[in-house]
Structure 1
Amino acid sequence: MKLVRCLTAEQTTTAIDLLATALPELSKGRIKDAMAKGAVLLNSKPKKRLRRAQTKLQPGQKLDIHYDDVLLQRQCDNAELLHDMKGYSIWFKPAGMLSQGNEWGDHLALLRAVELHFQHKRQVFLLHRLDREASGIVILAHSKKMAAAFSNMIARHEIDKFYQIAVRGQLTLELQQQAKINLPLDGKVCETQFTDVIYEPELNQSKLQVKLISGRKHQIRRHFAEVGHPVMGDPMYGSNNKDGNGLALQAVGVDFICPQSKQKQSIRLPEQLKHISV
Structure 2
Amino acid sequence: MTPSLIAMSADNRFRLSFTAEADGVGLRDFLAESGISRRTLTAVKYQGGEILVNGEEKTVKHELRAGDVVTVIFPPEKPAEGLFPEEGELSVLYEDEALLILDKPAGQPTIPSKGAPSGTLANSVAGKFRKEGTPATVHIVTRLDRETSGIVCIAKNRHIHHLMSEKMKEGGVLKRYEAIARGSFSVRHFFIDEPIGRKEGSIIERMVRADGQQAVTEIRVMDTPGLPGEEISRLSVILHTGRTHQIRVHLAHIGHPLEGDTLYGGSAERIGRQALHCAGLSFNHPLTGAPIDINSPVPGDMLAAAGYRR
**Could you tell me which amino acid in structure 2 is paired with residue 228 of structure 1?**
G
Aligned to 1:88: 99
**Could you tell me which amino acid in structure 2 is paired with residue 237 of structure 1?**
Y
1:226-245: CA deviations, max 9, x gaps? 00000001131114454334
Q: Distance in 2 between matches of 1:177 and 1:195?
A: 6
Q: Distance in 2 between matches of 1:114 and 1:207?
A: 32
Deviates more, 1:99-108 or 1:187-196: 99-108
TM-score normalised to structure 2 length: 0.61
Q: Is the 8 A contact 1:79 1:94 kept in 2?
A: no
Aligned to 1:193: 218
- CA gap of 1:264–1:50, structure 2 versus 1, over 3 A, is closer
- Give unmatched runs, 5+ long, in structure 1: 1-46, 52-76
Aligned to 2:168: 154
Q: Is the 8 A contact 1:92 1:138 kept in 2?
A: yes
Is residue 49 of structure 1 aligned with residue 106 of structure 2?
no
Q: CA deviation at 1:148?
A: 0.6
Paired residues in the alignment total: 205
Is residue 243 of structure 1 aligned with residue 257 of structure 2?
no
Is residue 143 of structure 1 aligned with residue 157 of structure 2?
yes
Q: Is the 8 A contact 1:235 1:242 kept in 2?
A: no
Q: CA deviation at 1:177?
A: 5.1
Aligned to 2:143: 129
Which one of the candidate residues 101, 110, 125 is aligned to 1:99?
Answer: 110
Q: Distance in 1 between matches of 2:225 and 2:83?
A: 50
Q: CA deviation at 1:101?
A: 0.1
Q: CA deviation at 1:103?
A: 2.1
**Could you tell me which amino acid in structure 1 is paired with residue 290 of structure 2?**
Q
1:79-109: CA deviations, max 9, x gaps? 3111001211100111111110012343221
Q: Is the 8 A contact 1:90 1:139 kept in 2?
A: yes
- CA gap of 1:78–1:229, structure 2 versus 1, over 3 A, is farther
Q: Is the 8 A contact 1:182 1:189 kept in 2?
A: yes
Q: Distance in 2 between matches of 1:115 and 1:158?
A: 27
Q: Is the 8 A contact 1:167 1:232 kept in 2?
A: yes
- CA gap of 1:126–1:243, structure 2 versus 1, over 3 A, is same
**Could you tell me which amino acid in structure 2 is paired with residue 198 of structure 1?**
D
Q: CA RMSD in A?
A: 2.5
Is residue 255 of structure 1 aligned with residue 266 of structure 2?
no
Q: Distance in 2 between matches of 1:95 and 1:253?
A: 16
Residue correspondence of structure 1 range 34-73 to structure 2 within 5 A: 48-49=81-82
1:142-191: CA deviations, max 9, x gaps? 111101111111111110000000001112x2xx2551111211211111
Q: Distance in 1 between matches of 2:300 and 2:294?
A: 14
TM-score normalised to structure 1 length: 0.67
Aligned to 2:194: 183
Q: CA deviation at 1:258?
A: 0.3
Q: Is the 8 A contact 2:82 2:117 kept in 1?
A: no
- CA gap of 1:265–1:180, structure 2 versus 1, over 3 A, is same
**Could you tell me which amino acid in structure 1 is paired with residue 282 of structure 2?**
D
- CA gap of 1:177–1:141, structure 2 versus 1, over 3 A, is same
Which one of the candidate residues 135, 151, 170 is aligned to 2:184?
Answer: 170
SS at match of 1:217: coil
**Could you tell me which amino acid in structure 1 is paired with residue 117 of structure 2?**
D
Q: CA deviation at 1:135?
A: 0.4
Q: CA deviation at 1:49?
A: 3.1
**Could you tell me which amino acid in structure 2 is paired with residue 110 of structure 1?**
L
Q: Is the 8 A contact 2:261 2:267 kept in 1?
A: no
Aligned to 1:31: none
